[in-house]
C-alpha cells in the first residue's frame, strides 16, 4: 500500500484526487507545510509527495529543497500561472514533475500510479511476488504457490487474496473488496463475493480447522496469519 502526502494550505483543492487515490487503496494524508516541518523524520515513510506552491518563489524554493532533503520519493509541484522561466527554476530546485492547477483528478491519479509502478519495478529488480507465511503470490502471472505447489486460482480469487494480504493488519469491508475486484460492476453482490470466498477457502485447506480467510461479522474479511503459516494444500 502506498502513502501519499499532500502539502497544502488548502487541501480542499485536492479532495477529488485524494478520493480517487483512496478508492485505489492508497493512504492519503494532508498537512500544511508548517505542520510537516515539525516532523521531517516522518517524510521517509511516504511514497509520493504533492506540494501546492504559493506566490513567493523564494518560499517555494526553500520548501522544495527542504522536502527533497528529507524524503526518498518523487515530489510533484502544483501551481497556477507560473511563467516558463519560473517553472524551469522550480523544477530545477528538485521536484520531479509539475501539474498546472486546476487539474483533472483522474489524469493526475493515473500519472502518480504510473510513476509508482515504474519505481516498484526498478526497486524490485526481481519477479513481482508477495510472500506471506508459506504463501507466495506471483503477481505477474497470477499464481499462488504453497510449499512449491501451484494452487490454481481464478482472476477474482487471486485479486481477493492479494487485497487481503496487502491489508493483512486490518479487516477489509465487503464493499471495498467488491469495488476492487469488480470495479463497481453493478452485478457484483455480497452473495457473489461470499461464493468466491468459499471457493478460495476450499482451495487452501488449513490445519486445525482454521480458515485462511476469517469472516469478521458485520465488518468484512481478514487474512488469518496463524493459519497461513501452517497452511497445507488440499489433497
Question: Rounded to whole angstroms, what are the CA distances from 12 to 1, 33, 38, 76, 171?
Answer: 23, 15, 22, 17, 28
Per domain, the residue ranges of the chain are: 3-124, 129-233
Which has the minimum average pLDDT: 9-23, 67-81, 113-127? 113-127
pLDDT at 24: 84
> Does the predicted TM-score (pTM) go above 0.75?
no
Determine the 3-state secondary structure of 76 from DSSP.
Answer: strand
| The pLDDT of residue 233 | 45
Two domains, one topology: 3-124 and 129-233: no
Q: Which CATH number fits domain 129-233: 3.40.50.300, 1.10.10.10, 2.40.320.10, 1.20.140.10?
A: 1.10.10.10
Write the pLDDT tens digit of every residue in 136-195: 888 877 888 887 788 888 989 999 998 888 887 789 999 889 988 887 666 678 888 999
Cell of 229: 503459516
- Cβ burial of 103 (10 Å; 0-12, 13-18, 19+) is middle
Average model confidence (pLDDT) across the chain: 86
User: Does position 208 have pLDDT exceeding 60, yes or no?
Assistant: no
Reference 137, options 73, 212, 69, 79; nearest CA is 212
* Residues 6+ away with beta carbon under 8 Å from 122: none
CATH architecture of the domain with range 3-124: 3-Layer(aba) Sandwich (3.40)
Instruction: State how far the Cα of 153 lies from the Cα of 210, in Å rounded to an integer.
Output: 20
Question: What is the per-residue pLDDT across 159-173, written as a single tens digit (0 to 9) for each?
Answer: 999 888 888 778 999
CA 179 distance to own-chain centroid:
14
pLDDT at residue 21, as a whole number:
94
Q: Which long-range contacts (CB under 8 A, 24 or more apart) does 55-61 make?
A: 57/86, 57/89, 57/90, 60/90, 60/93, 61/89, 61/90, 61/93
Amino acid at each position: 500500500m502506498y502513502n501519499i502526502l499532500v502539502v497544502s494550505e488548502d487541501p480542499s483543492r485536492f479532495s477529488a484526487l485524494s478520493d480517487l487515490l483512496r478508492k485505489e487503496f492508497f493512504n492519503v494524508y494532508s498537512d500544511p507545510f508548517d505542520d510537516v516541518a515539525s516532523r521531517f523524520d516522518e517524510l521517509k515513510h511516504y511514497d509520493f509527495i504533492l506540494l501546492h506552491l504559493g506566490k513567493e518563489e523564494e518560499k517555494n524554493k526553500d520548501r522544495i529543497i527542504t522536502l527533497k532533503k528529507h524524503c526518498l520519493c518523487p515530489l510533484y509541484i502544483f501551481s497556477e500561472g507560473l511563467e516558463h522561466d519560473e517553472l524551469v527554476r522550480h523544477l530545477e530546485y528538485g521536484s520531479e514533475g509539475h501539474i498546472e492547477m486546476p487539474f483533472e483528478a483522474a489524469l493526475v491519479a493515473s500519472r502518480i500510479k504510473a510513476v509508482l509502478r515504474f519505481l516498484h519495478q526498478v526497486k524490485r529488480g526481481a519477479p513481482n511476488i508477495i510472500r506471506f507465511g508459506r504463501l507466495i503470490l506471483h503477481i505477474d502471472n497470477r499464481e499462488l504457490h504453497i510449499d512449491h505447489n501451484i494452487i490454481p486460482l481464478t482472476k477474482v480469487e487471486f485479486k481477493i487474496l492479494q487485497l487481503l494480504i496487502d491489508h493483512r493488519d486490518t479487516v477489509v469491508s465487503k464493499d471495498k473488496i467488491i469495488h476492487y475486484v469488480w470495479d463497481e460492476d453493478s452485478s457484483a453482490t455480497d452473495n457473489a463475493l461470499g461464493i468466491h470466498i468459499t471457493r478460495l477457502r476450499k482451495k487452501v485447506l488449513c490445519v486445525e480447522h482454521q480458515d485462511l480467510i476469517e469472516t469478521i461479522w458485520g465488518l468484512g474479511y481478514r487474512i488469518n496469519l496463524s493459519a497461513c503459516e501452517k497452511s497445507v494444500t488440499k489433497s
